[in-house]
Structure 1
Amino acid sequence: MKTPTRRRFIEITPFAGLVLLAACSPKVEPQSVQMATTPAPNPPPAAAAAPSKTAINLPMLEIGDAQAVVFGYVDDATQADKVKFTNYVSGSACSNCALFQGEAGDVAGGCPLFVGKHVAAKGWCTSWAKKA
């Protein structure tokens, strides 16, 4: 056994602190997973198996939302300020933008600029880019 020295004390102090911390911390019991007792529902028909990307029920982007203001978003592309936003192109709308994640004919869809919100298909913002 080594004789107690200041150096030895400095070597073992961090480990003693960890042991003390582990001993004083509250014990967390893992929660048991309960199996469902009800039978699984029948699978949907094959036609309904692939919902569109816009099937997620997200809230609509509000005009007053801070990010909407930054991008000059409007619900109706014809209402865009053509003087303030000189990059506005007649006929442009979210539905024909490369960033629009909705399907053809959808009233609203997702946009990577406004995560967690849907934009109107007939809306417009300054980041509009023609869909290829």
Structure 2
Amino acid sequence: MTTRRHFIWLLPASGAALLSACSESAPPPSAAPPAAAPASSAEYPVPAPAPAPEVAQTPAATGPMLEASDPTAAALGYVAVAANADKAKYPNFVEGSACSNCTLYQGAIGSEAGPCPLFPGKQVAAAGWCASYVKKAT
């Protein structure tokens, strides 16, 4: 290829030769035969299914009781008995409010204690209260 004219002259000829060579020997893609299955399972071993993971109890469901002296509990004004809440410091306290009827409380209905996402790994008293109390919708 010494000149541009020579290259331009060869380009259509080589393209036409390539196109005719591909169209004669190769079948169209839709007519390709399906892939053959392996001869035996020994060639391609199938791994055994993994065992199902065990369901573990979350620490929040079985944790120790929350103490009012806990730093987070003290910051939120948590008390184990709602009637003992400091009504002067927490004017949002309403008679009848308790952890058991709070949206955040995750304990079972009628239980004495249960988990709360505000205090991970600890149980709160169902009769307790804190400043983050939000009445559960009925």
Bucket of the pairwise TM-score, normalised by the shorter protein: 0.5 to 0.7
Would you say 1:125 and 2:116 are equivalent positions?
Answer: no
| Residue deviations 1:76-122 (CA, integer Å, cap 9, x gap) | 00000111100001100000000000011000000000000000000
What does residue 65 of structure 1 align with? 70
Distance across 1 between alignment mates of 2:59 and 2:93 = 26
**Any residues of structure 2 matched to 1:4-83 within 5 Å, and which?**
56-83=61-88
Aligned residue identity for 2:92: N
What does residue 42 of structure 1 align with? none
Aligned residue identity for 2:77: G
Tell me how far 1:57 sits from its aligned partner: 2.2
User: Which region of structure 1 is more displaced relative to structure 2, 86-95 or 52-61?
Assistant: 52-61
Aligned residue identity for 2:121: G
Q: Alignment partner of 1:56: what SS?
A: helix
What does residue 24 of structure 1 align with? none
Would you say 1:97 and 2:97 are equivalent positions?
Answer: no
TM-score (norm 1): 0.58
Distance across 1 between alignment mates of 2:135 and 2:114 = 16
- Which segments of 5 or more consecutive residues in structure 2 lack a partner in the other structure? 1-56
Distance across 2 between alignment mates of 1:125 and 1:89 = 11
What does residue 111 of structure 2 align with? 106
Would you say 1:85 and 2:90 are equivalent positions?
Answer: yes
Distance across 1 between alignment mates of 2:58 and 2:95 = 27
Q: Is the 8 A contact 1:94 1:121 kept in 2?
A: yes
What does residue 120 of structure 2 align with? 115
Q: Alignment partner of 1:67: what SS?
A: helix
Identity of aligned residues (%): 57
Q: Is the 8 A contact 1:54 1:108 kept in 2?
A: no
Aligned residue identity for 2:117: P
Q: Is the 8 A contact 2:112 2:125 kept in 1?
A: yes
Aligned residue identity for 1:91: G
